[in-house]
Amino acid sequence: MELVFIRHGQPEWMRDDLNVENPPLTELGHHQARRMAEVLAAEEFDEVLVSPLLRARQTAAPLYEALGRDEVIDEWLQEIGDPNWHGTPYSLAQEAYKELLARPSLERWTGLEGGESVRDFADRITAGANGFMARHGGIRVDGELPVWKLDNPDQRIAMVAHAGTNSMALGHLLGVDPVPWQWERFQLHHTSITRLETFELGDGHAFGMSALGNAEHLALDDRTR
């Protein structure tokens, strides 16, 4: 089984010095998305799934077009929920993230005030990944090791989502306990491509990482985080 995780392109988080909720892509973000689609257009996928958020859907659009596929939204891929900052000064978000990063490590689990906690987000993505695997014939074997029983190990599925979603899902499938700085653990540029592939064990399959945050389709000046 191969899972291809794609991060969205650069979003327009700020407009006229004000925060933008569920932002669209910037001009550079659209360029990043087109370059990603050009790279993946020659590959065959059983499914291509996308987060419901606008920045992910706009990133996936050129890939769907190149592959001749219709959009398929999968709700579990949605990013961690931010506070409702829309229309407020951008400095408010900057100060909130600055305060979050300055906290002792364990206190970062609570996340941003007014938003989804990182602990709840980790639990949501873990449950979502398990549900995704079950829908595709994959059940985790009871025990301490990340071993999966797969009905169809030949599937290839691409998912266009977010740094948080992708990093939490990657950690879970690889058997790495989540931390409240999971975004920093797995460094993912905009429209970067990360690949997990299964290999066979005596009692099932396990995931291995064959590529992390590959952004070689972008010129150095076009790579953003």
List the one residue out of 21, 13, 61, 11 whose CA is nearest residue 162. 11
Spatial distance between the Cα atoms of 62 and 58, rounded to a whole number of angstroms: 8
Spatial distance between the Cα atoms of 58 and 3, rounded to a whole number of angstroms: 20
H helix runs in 4-112, sequence order:
27-40, 54-67, 90-101
Q: Give the helix/strand (H/E) hosting 100.
A: helix 90-101
Spatial distance between the Cα atoms of 25 and 117, rounded to a whole number of angstroms: 25
pLDDT given at position 101: 92
Strands 204-214 and 193-201, bridge-based pairing: antiparallel
Reduced to 3 states (helix: H, G, I; strand: E, B; else coil), residue 7 is: strand
Tokens read off for 200: 């066979």
List the one residue out of 16, 13, 19 whose CA is nearest residue 92. 19
Mean pLDDT per 10-residue run, the chain (225 residues)?
A: 98 96 97 98 97 98 98 98 95 94 96 96 98 97 94 97 98 96 95 98 97 98 97
What DSSP letter does each residue of 107-149 carry, written as one string? Answer: GGGG-STTS--HHHHHHHHHHHHHHHHHHTTEEEPSSSS--EE
Q: Supply angle C-alpha 182, 217, 180, rounded to 5.
A: 5
Tokens read off for 144: 């301490």
Q: Is the separation of the CB atoms in 198 and 205 below 8 Å?
A: yes
pLDDT given at position 179: 97
For residue 62, what are the contacts with CB-CB under 8 A and spacing of at least 6? Answer: 33, 34, 36, 37
pLDDT given at position 133: 98
pLDDT given at position 98: 95
Q: Is the separation of the CB atoms in 191 and 215 below 8 Å?
A: yes
pLDDT given at position 97: 93
